[in-house]
Amino acid sequence: MLVRHQWGTFSAKQARDLGVTDKEIRAHVAAGRWRRLHRGVYFMANTSPGRGALRWAALLASGEGSVLSDNTAAAVYGFARAQWFTKLIEVSIPEDRRDVAVPGVRV
């Protein structure tokens, strides 16, 4: 259910919380059932991740308390002009965390 809500994405921590071992995660990736999107973030599908999955992956990779922001959030809420600026996913994180860097994501 969680994976469906998160557009097919999940974190290694979420998988471990459900009893999946790191060895099992590596086996699923090696077999092509799961795809690594960011460090510790995976996509559970045989297809390319869609925009919703990429947004969730950005949030999961950015850590606890992260939210979509700026043009990305505006696009999610249907502001037409923002649709032109959504190539880069924009995320805001809590002020006390400054060490977050995620490829392809503006934090």
Please count the CA atoms within 13 angstroms of the CA of 9 that sit on its side-chain side: 23
Q: Give the tens place of pLDDT for each residue, 17-74.
A: 999 999 999 999 999 999 999 999 999 988 899 989 999 999 999 999 999 998 888 8
Query: What is the reported pLDDT for 82?
Result: 53
Instruction: Give yes or no for a contact between 10 and 74, defined as CB atoms under 8 angstroms apart.
Output: no
Instruction: Give yes or no for a contact between 51 and 83, defined as CB atoms under 8 angstroms apart.
Output: no
Backbone angles phi, psi at 8, to 5 degrees: 90, 5
Radius of gyration of the chain (CA): 14
**Is the C-alpha dihedral spanning 66, 71, 76, 79 positive or negative?**
positive
- Global pTM? 0.86
